[in-house]
Chains A and B, each alone.
Chain A
């Protein structure tokens, strides 16, 4: 690429380690101006002479240099634009491979220049939008309530990954009613399953049949028949691993979620749904009826949740000690306040005592059912 400079190393007698002196050759234009040019401005008509080729050489060299610089700049833009989508980087070729004329080289250069300009314009536009989105994230984090349900993803700010910022109410419907909003940051990408391979790489019917046959015979079964002679057999370690794998998977999966006594009918879910509907409807219905609907809705929701908690807790699947104890303590507190003439502080003290006792009882029950674990989260 270019060059245009000559390196001359001069060594003095007393200092052999001196740095080389670099001298630059004068530019070609300067050389040409010193002597009158022998090259005519254009070749004689119909005569393709060496002079004409020499005349084109500097123009070609310049154009090639410009194309090289632009190609490098475009390559830089391609890598800096990732992961933004929808930007066209292609520049059409000139039906090569062949030696392009000066005109064609100029066209390639102009196309590259145009493409670079277009890419930069698109990038600038996208960067402005991304900057606005970044500012929006800051605003959302500062005041989630003022940006309800707004969701900004990594793609919106020109970054890779599946992370997104979402302004949502805390504790679902309850938070929405109470105005407890927060920005939830999700960073999880869905599990990679890979792209479907190109058609040419898909297994043929024959390959699929062979794979199924192998799977059906199982890794532990030695292949039968004369074709099996000389084929490598799986080692004892491989066969042992294959036998242990299902049991290990079961162990890793842990105990299964306990089934409800009424089978697969989604009773709890329906109760919770009805509770939610009542809750929302009660929010919009004015007067005493609305209040009753909300209370019943809350009660039904709590009932559905408690049912699941009791089932999981006493199956040793997942501990709900605090929740269940809290429910018992709260019930005691409400009952005492409603039916007894005691001072509310005394009622609260009694409820705390009941809560503490319940914690001990529920923890003991869970330990007994789960085989010794004091607590277990999500059945792990």
Chain B
């Protein structure tokens, strides 16, 4: 989609504030029992992550809200993804579309494969988000350096990471909410 980075619009910030006001401390504990967040927690266990250490995207945002006392605006992309994740519960990630070659999908890293922004090669078998050429992100972790939306970005690629138990409709809605946030 055509989108640029920069400051968030007033509408997006207002939406973040409204969501922030809705979040209560009890939610941080209860959220793990809701269908979509629990599906992510289970998937984290399946792929060897501890969801209490590497928090699922929605839990990370809720804990950030609790610890910081509010959801503060960073930039348009992060804010739009945060709003969509908090509204729908799905994990989303954004890339600079002009720096992605071909289709994006999940695969296991190869032996000795490098990762931009990391000096050591990735451990073999790490699940990565990759385009046709190279890994562009580690699943539920960082994005490769230079592949995330930056100041010169004019086109963005939004992806939703679906896991077993998350309906297709939620993924589509998450993407739609994030896209509308980026356009706002």
Seen from chain A, the residues whose Cβ lies within 8 Å of a Cβ on chain B are: 1, 64, 67-68, 71-72, 75-76, 78-79, 82, 89-100, 104-105, 108, 112, 194, 197-198, 201
Contacts and interface: CB of A to CB of B under 8 A. Distances in A.
Nearest to B67: A198
A197 B69 CA distance: 8
B46 A90 contact: no
23 contacts: A1-B42, A72-B33, A79-B29, A79-B32, A82-B26, A90-B53, A93-B49, A93-B54, A96-B49, A97-B47, A97-B48, A97-B127, A97-B138, A97-B139, A97-B141, A99-B47, A99-B127, A100-B48, A105-B46, A108-B45, A112-B45, A197-B69, A201-B68
- Interface-central residue, B47, B69, B139, by most chain A CB under 10 Å: B47
B103 interface: no
Contacts of B9: none
A67 B42 CA distance: 7
B38 A98 contact: no
B130 to A, nearest CB: 13
B108 interface: yes
A93 B48 CA distance: 5
Given A99-B125, A99-B127, A1 B48 contact: no
B109 to A, nearest CB: 9
Interface in B22-59: 26, 29-30, 32-33, 38, 41-42, 44-50, 52-54
Contact of A100 (B47, B52, B54): B47
Contact of A71 (B45, B69, B127, B139): B45
A79 B69 CA distance: 22
A347 to B, nearest CB: 64
B44 to A, nearest CB: 8
- Interface-central residue, B45, B50, B123, B165, by most chain A CB under 10 Å: B45
A82 B38 CA distance: 18
B50 A91 contact: yes
Contact of B125 (A68, A71, A98): A98
Given A198-B68, A201-B68, A67 B46 contact: yes
Nearest to B140: A97
